[in-house]
Structure 1
Amino acid sequence: MRSILIFLAIAFGLSWLIALPLWFGDGLASPFFGLVALAMMATPAIAALIVVFLVDKPARKAAALGLWPIGRPGRFIGYLALALVVPVVLILAALPIGALFGVYPADFVNFSGFQEITEAQLAATGAPALPIPIGVLVALQFVNVLIGAFINLIPALGEELGWRGWLLPKLLPLGVTPAILLSGLIWGLWHAPLVLLGYNYPTAPGWLGLVMMCGMCVVVGAVFSWLRIRSGSVWAPALVPLVLIIVLAATGQFRPAPTPDAQPEPATSR
């Protein structure tokens, strides 16, 4: 319990410390926002490394972090492949559900809703019209998922090394289900410095955004936890959150809601 408390104090304390310039500056509009968000992703890994090397000091430090051993090569590669497939499946499942509740437009053939949103964002920023067919743009998002998953593995590993690599096994003595629920809740609360500024859920009050983030992290974290437990390492779950982040960022889901002044003017008849 002592090492868990130290881990949480370091991970949460560093995340708030890194985010302070946003709180005392321009918030999400700060030109340093991307750098701050990237640095925050490293805080769980830093906390885990400090606890492993300075507090617990286990004989097998790589095993304590979920980095090694990776098990049989075929099994390891299989779980890595599954980690790339799972986010795409989740996204494809979420689209019709979101359309049912009016979150996403239901046109999955011509992508008219996505095209309307994209064109409105381009018009609001004064950018030229979309130079390629909307179907090609949609396809490119999934290509970016696969490419980006490998390019950005290290920053994604920063989170997973802490949450699923070190923390989840420490909570497993409570039972598998309590460990998954508690680790997901902790993961969600750790996002507070950015969520309370309007990130992820820009149209919701801060407290509601944080509740929604915790719920999402519990549900999605269960998938990551399953990959961690079944594969025996942190490498497979490290790919999943990264893939989801790339998809959401590529489709503009993390952008703050535009202000009324930034909305494009409606076309008028002449």
Structure 2
Amino acid sequence: MSGRDLRPIGVFTALAFSLAWLFALPLWFGDGLASPWFTPVATATMMTPAIAALVVVFFVERPQQKAWTLGLWPLRPVRRLLVYSALGIFVSIALVLVALPVGALLGVYPADFTNFSAFQQALDEQAGTAGAAQIPIPIGALIALQIALLPLAAFINLIPALGEELGWRGWLLPKLMPLGTLPALLVSGVIWGLWHAPLILLGYNYPDAPGTLGLTAMVAMCVLIGAVFGWLRLRSGSVWPAALAHAAFNGAGGTYLLFAAAGEHIDTTQATVLGWSGWIVPLALVVVLIATGQFSSAKHPSTPPSKKGASSSTSGDGTSGP
């Protein structure tokens, strides 16, 4: 990788990190995660990788095909884009959900898959506070409905998720591809994980862990999940499947509360997809993807095609599979 490539990567990384810390300052000098400004601050922070990528693309690199460089365009071949978008949504939800029985089997997630006692307790407390009658739906049916609606989160959360993915997988991962696919996935995952520091060090995601342990866990999780998102980006040639996967992943993140046992403590360094027990299945998935050549045969969107090449490839891709 040449110095010409390193300069925009350095500018992008410095800008994304600096803006994340700048946006988080009201929390650090205020009430931290208890601040009423937490949600807007966290949402704004998610936009900083996109801001950094746009600055680099428009003012540092200035390529002719800017939307292509960011992975926003073209939206074809349509079938491939739709297939990988659907895979991103459902694989992300599956990775979040499967972490729960795995954690239960390993004794680190206090599960109640029969009575859903923690969720029932939350419903009872909410009904008591509001002075309302209990919901006339069996709790099992209510949970099934919430799980069935999870794919909608991919579209509800798409804009903030795209704020991250436009930077991490849209722009950064292809720029790192000269290092080789696996090093590029590793480096981009570490950068993504460390970028979370302003909130993780305040106790976000890992409220019971020392800051350094929480940040280390976040980096490990981001490397594994980032490899899955990176596979979607490289195979589809587009940032949209990765953005939908990220949005679905965030939307499913709170499902561990549905299946927990009432009154039990959940250590997120060990349980849920945030903890080590939740990394087992994503690691196995990444190993399978590597072993089956899913990364080596992926499309590497490192340089945009010429107009002549794009025309000829379009006619061939129009009927190609994912």
RMSD of aligned Cα (Å): 2.2
Flag structure 1 segments of 5+ consecutive residues without an equivalent. 259-270
| Residues 172-201 of structure 1: per-residue CA shift (max 9 Å, x gap) | 100100000110010000000000000001
1:43 alignment partner AA: T
* 1:72–1:30 CA distance, 2 compared to 1 (3 A): same
Query: Which stretch shifts more, 77-86 or 11-20?
Result: 77-86
Residue 163 (structure 1) aligned to one of 164, 168, 193:
168
2:216 alignment partner AA: V
If the length of structure 2 is used for normalisation, what is the TM-score? Answer: 0.73
The runs of 4+ residues in structure 1 deviating greater than 4 Å are: 119-123, 125-130, 250-253
* 1:120–1:241 CA distance, 2 compared to 1 (3 A): farther
Equivalences for residues 1-270 of structure 1 within 5 A: 1-116=6-121, 118=122, 122=126, 126=129, 131=135, 132-249=137-254
2:19 alignment partner AA: L
Distance in 2 between residues matched to 1:18 and 1:121, nearest whole Å: 34
Is the Cα–Cα contact under 8 Å of residues 124 and 134 in structure 2 kept in the other structure?
no
Distance in 1 between residues matched to 2:28 and 2:154, nearest whole Å: 30
Structure 1 residue 142: deviation in Å?
2.0
Distance in 1 between residues matched to 2:58 and 2:105, nearest whole Å: 49
* 1:16–1:127 CA distance, 2 compared to 1 (3 A): farther
Distance in 2 between residues matched to 1:150 and 1:191, nearest whole Å: 23
Distance in 2 between residues matched to 1:75 and 1:210, nearest whole Å: 35
Distance in 1 between residues matched to 2:176 and 2:83, nearest whole Å: 26
Number of the residue aligned with 2:305: none
Structure 1 residue 137: deviation in Å?
3.2
| Residues 129-176 of structure 1: per-residue CA shift (max 9 Å, x gap) | 863432133223324422221122111100000000000000010010
1:235 alignment partner AA: W
Is the Cα–Cα contact under 8 Å of residues 19 and 36 in structure 1 kept in the other structure?
yes
* 1:119–1:190 CA distance, 2 compared to 1 (3 A): same
If the length of structure 1 is used for normalisation, what is the TM-score? Answer: 0.86
Flag structure 2 segments of 5+ consecutive residues without an equivalent. 1-5, 264-322
